[in-house]
Amino acid sequence: MNDLGFPLLSALIVVPVVGALAIALVPRSNAALVRGVGAATTLVVAALSVWLLVAFDGSDAGFQLGEKYTWIADFGIAWNLGVDGISLFLVVLTALLYPIAVIGVRPHHDPKPYLAWLLLLEAGCIGVFLSLDLFLFFVMFEIVLVPMYFLIGGWGYGERVYAALKFFLFTMAGSAFMLVGIVALAFLHQQATGELTFDLVTIAEAQGSIAQTTARWLFLGFAVAFAVKVPLFPLHTWLPDAHTQAPTAGSVILAGVMLKLGTYGFLRFGLYLFPEAAAYFAPFLVTLGVIGIIYGAVVAAMQRDLKRLVAYSSVAHLGFIVLGTFAFTTQGLQGGVIQMVNHGISTGALFLLVGMIYERRHTREIAELKGLQKAAPVLAGVFTVVMLSSIGLPGLNGFVGEFLILLGSFPTRRWWAVVATVGVILAAVYLLWAYQRVFHGAPDEANAGTPDMDRRERLIMAPLLAAIVFLGVYPKPVLERIEPAVDRLIAHVEASSDFSKPEVAATEGER
Amino acid sequence: MTPAAIAQIEPIATPQIEWFAVSPLLVLVGGALVLLTAAALARSRPPRGFYALFTVVTAALAVACSALLWQRVTDPARGPFTAIGGAITIDGFSVFFAVTITAAIALGALLADDYLRREGLDGPELYVLMLLSGTGGVVMAMANDLIVVFLGLETLSIALYVMAGLHLRRLESQESAIKYFVLGSFSSAFLLYGIALVYGATGSTNFGAIASFLAGNVLASNGLLLAGFALLLVGLGFKVAAVPFHVWTPDVYQGAPTPVTAFMASASKAAGFAALLRVFVSTFDVYRLDWRPLMWALAVLSLLVGSFLAIVQSDVKRMLAYSSISHAGFILVGAEAASDRGVAGALFYLLAYTFMVVGSFGVATLVAGRGDAEHGLSAYRGLSRRRPLLALTFTVLLLAQAGVPLTSGFLAKFYVIGAAVEADSYALALIAMLSAVVAAFVYLRITVAMYMGDETDEPEAVAGPAVRVPPAAALALGAAVAFTIVVGVLPSPVVDFARDAVPALLSAP
């Protein structure tokens, strides 16, 4: 048990599950009660996450508020939770994005199973970020597939069955490699030390108990699973389908939270467990990330479907995060972590806005939308801010992340950083171009009557806009909480590989 | 004969029989005989559901006897022992299988109850045969002698041949029985020939004696023994439906009455694996370098053929049949590891699989409707709207078969993969997990049919054939789902049960 005297981390996982079970018990006909329970549950989780934010000690680089209970004694598996500067904001992001997605978007039919699946998904996502046990992590990482599969397949658009199957099978295939990797890691650790355990910290701190080549193979096993989830080029093909066909709330959670399971996995499990192998494969992964930046941007510019465009922009943004992660500098990793949060906010907001446009016009074809600015000025204004945040305009949150990533990767991955900078410009190209086509000009007959945002929609966009501006103007409280954990991780990589952080970055980091 | 001559005849030494040791068998056989006699003598038809209730009570008694035996064999002061002159072994392993097979009997009886009335076949026969067949399975698990394995196998199989053909008015059922009988007889012949060759090579059919002979002697030419291994593997591979001895499986599973299929897929496979594990992993341990590659090949073929051919099926029963082949591949992964953890993993898998597969075929029993004919994927379309709870049940069981976490199916896969990795069979572990992804596609296709029908055909889907869920079947399905989820979330008791059930190798006294 932790110092709080309350199992806060377990509660973050258990409360959504309880909420889902409660919804399952409410009769189907009572839609208002179903919605009420759903909204209340997400608000409770959000409140718990704020408590977590307050209780978190920003100067401590290690895992905090730990909870550990034996689960399967025979295998040394435990319900082992903990939070550090890297996972803290991802948990908070999830918990705060959820009420917006749940209250802001209503499903077209069957709210009961829809909300139950969404809440189970929330438990799984938060569980991934909090797990400090390899087995528990895998359970959480894999269980999120089921709710998302049913959300896409049950409440999605046109090609939803195809998209849901593709999403499930791609991710499961990646996880297959990771499961073998996890099991192998645990047993090799047992052979070296005599103790069978799946405890992340124990295994990660026992560097050297596994041969270098073996560790590299195992890292690849983990990397495949994370690369599918991120997704890294060329394993990204499930993403545009899943994002486009998912219901709006599904897209928001998929882009806002679930893609981070991959990048978070690279940080927490890739770098921490296999520092030497991560340093060895870093050029390769950074190359894939940079290809993703350029490819995602170019393909996004070609899209005729607004939602698909946003989906491809995720490929580009996630490429940046991978670049920052494998730069191994304080700024690069900090930028990567904060960019995960930023992308969750901006892309989540973009999907909400695209969903609103679809609700009004029943199309997402850019060619059929025109001059919406005249008809719906508030919608256009909000879209502008969110879009500029996604582009990385200084003063908004996207800039902070991208700038730190480029700053951090320049000393160690110079030419990749140079190419990635082009991606910033391309982002402006495809988003501004799309904005022009959708919002500018004189609306034709079909678009002229588009209603503007109503009060509920304004209410759910307001916190997102506030976060976009706040993180863009004053990111310090977030960055200084991320920094100790990130520095500790880099020191861990340096201690176990022949990588050493360049001088410039080191002095910058000590500032 | 004169009294003097009689006095000269040596009395035949009959073995001491410890009745307690065989109590689960006695309960099952006794139950079958009582049921048969009572049904023959009774003047009037018994109340509805009497046969099924009787079978379930018998099974429960057998489990109770097994629990008492378990206490004795896990007591460090007493431990495992042989009985009936060394013919059978009572150890954790045999008790584990007694429980597994008895569970399959109970669940199968619950499914059969309404099915038989629905199809106009009500009578005690199926229950009696199920009890007898299960007895054969338990004998196979208890066997400490190749001849006893054969006796058990025949008891198991002959009852199953009849059960497969029990649906008199369905041609497929008759075809299935004949097919199973002919191919099954072949496989029995293979097994018997294998037994003969192993006897020729080692001079004994007793497991303990064979093992100590193999450990103590180096055979100058071991061709006879290796040929014996191969033939034994063919015979047992047929029973567990491992590729390439699987060709009967889809046809027989499809044609047999669905509750019988459920029993066949669970109990018969469990019994086959019981013999396979005890004979190869335990008895032929010294020769593991010779048989492990064979096991490896069987596992890989079963995994790949089972999961890939399942994809192209359009009949749900055939899909489940092919998926049961790929499950056999997974269990073989545990056997291939040839370690205690591998055996424990295979046991855990079999117990988890028993509940999953009986539950799955149980849903198929209900959806098929009168005539046991509606097994196409289209029969499942829109089931989530017609029968939400049944659809959810099937979904849980299918996801468990796919190996989704927090179900017993995931832990089963985790367990055998762990054993394979520990035995350095990395390639096999990876092939197994990737084939699980392929198999997952099959299970997802069924959930797609249940949940994600096109919006355009929704009105028809809702008005599809009515599916009745009788209480006995609901009980069986509830038990299957509860077991699957509870063991998935809190697996420790079953993990410990499987770990302590590793076979003991005992010589005849």
Rounded to an integer, what distance in angstroms lies between the CA atom of residue B155 and that of residue A34?
55
Percent of chain B exceeding pLDDT 90 equals 70
Q: Are the CB atoms for B111 and B22 separated by under 8 Å? A: no
Alpha-carbon distances, residue A262 vs A134, A150, A322, B6, B230 (angstroms): 15, 21, 10, 86, 46
Report the candidate in A305, A434, A430, A445 with the shortest Cα–Cα distance to residue A374: A445
Q: Using H for helix, E for strand and C for coil, what is the string for B150-210?
A: HHHHHHHHHHHHHHHCCCCCCHHHHHHHHHHHHHHHHHHHHHHHHHHHHHHHHCCCEHHHH
Shortest Cα–Cα distance, A173 to chain B (Å) = 6
Contact A184 B414 (CB under 8 A): no
Q: Inform me whether the C-beta atom of residue B422 falls under 8 Å from chain A C-beta atoms.
A: yes
More confident residue, A250 or B56: B56
How large is the average pLDDT for residues B76-101? 90
Q: Which residues contact A475 (CB under 8 A, 6 or more apart)?
A: A338, A397, A400
**pLDDT tens digits, one per residue of B424-480:** 999 999 999 999 999 999 999 999 888 876 554 444 445 556 788 889 999 999 999
Quick one: tokens of A177?
Answer: 């490699």
Residue with tokens 């057998």: B62
Q: pLDDT tens digits for A487-509?
A: 888 888 888 877 777 765 444 44
What is the sign, positive or negative, of the torsion defined by CA atoms of B153, B158, B163, B169?
Answer: positive
| Structure confidence at residue B457 (pLDDT) | 47
Whether A177 and B448 lie within 8 Å, measured CB to CB: no
Task: List b or e across B179-212, with b for residues whose CB sees 16 or more CB atoms inside 10 angstroms.
Answer: bbbebbeebbebbbbbbebbbebbebbbbbbbbb
Task: Please name which of A287, A179, A170 lies closest in space to residue A233, comparing C-alpha atoms.
Answer: A287
What pLDDT is recorded for position A509?
43
Residue B409 binned pLDDT confidence (cut-offs 50, 70, 90)? very high
d(CA B9, CA B444): 70
pLDDT at position A503: 61
Within 10 angstroms of residue A156's Cβ, the number of other Cβ atoms is 23
Bigger pLDDT: B507 vs B92: B92
CB contact under 8 A, A179 and B444: no
The reply to whether ipTM tops 0.85 is: yes
pLDDT of residue B463: 52
Quick: pLDDT tens for B199-229.
999 999 999 999 999 998 888 888 899 999 9
Tens-place pLDDT, residues B272-285: 999 999 999 999 98
pLDDT at B325 over 90: yes
B12-45 pLDDT, tens digit per residue, is 777 778 888 899 999 999 999 999 999 889 888 8
Chain A residues with CB-CB distance to B452 below 8 A: 153-154, 160-161, 164
Which residues face A199 on adjacent strands? A133
- Whether B16 has its CB under 8 Å from any CB of chain A: the answer is no
Residues with Cβ within 8 Å of A194's Cβ and at least 6 positions away in sequence, in order, are: none
Give the DSSP per-residue string, A183-251.
HHHHHHHHHHHS----BHHHHHHSTTSS-HHHHHHHHHHHHHHHHHHTTPTTS-THHHHHHHHS-HHHH
**Which helix (H) or strand (E) segment is A453 a member of?**
none
Tokens 């954790």 locate to: B92
- CB-nearest to B437 from A149, A172, A180 is A172
Residues with pLDDT less than 70, chain A: 1-2, 503-511
Phi, psi of A131 (to 5 degrees): -70, 135
Residue contact A139–B410, C-beta within 8 A: yes
Alpha helices in A56-159 (DSSP H): 85-104, 111-130, 134-143, 145-155
Element holding B338 (H helix, E strand):
none
B499 near A CB under 8 A: yes
Range list of H helices, B285-382: 288-311, 316-336, 340-368
* Degrees, nearest 5: CA angle B305-B306-B312: 85
For residue A370, the model assigns a pLDDT of: 80
| Best to test chain B binding among A183, A216, A245 (most B CBs inside 10 Å) | A183
User: How large is the average pLDDT for residues B176-195?
Assistant: 94
Cβ pair A125, A261 in contact under 8 A: yes
Question: What is the C-alpha separation between A402 and A381, in angstroms, rounded?
Answer: 23
Q: Give the model's pLDDT for residue B509.
A: 55
pLDDT score recorded for residue A504: 55
Q: Collapse the DSSP code of A389 into the 3-class scheme (helix H, G, I; strand E, B; otherwise coil) and give the result.
A: helix
Higher pLDDT, A42 or B506: A42
Percent residues over pLDDT 70 in chain B: 97
**Res B188: pLDDT:** 94
Residues of A with CB under 8 A from a CB of B: 71-75, 135, 138-140, 142-143, 145-146, 149-150, 153-154, 160-161, 164-165, 168-169, 172-173, 176-177, 179-180, 183-184, 186-187
Interface A–B counts its CB contacts (< 8 A) at 82
3-state class of B312 per DSSP?
coil
Closest CA to A402 of A316, A477, A297: A316
Cα separation, B71 vs B67, in Å, equals 6
Are residues A397 and A468 in contact, defined by beta-carbon separation less than 8 angstroms? Answer: yes
A135: amino acid identity, one letter = F
Amino acid at site A336: G
Flag if B452 and A154 touch (Cβ within 8 Å): yes
SS3 B469: coil
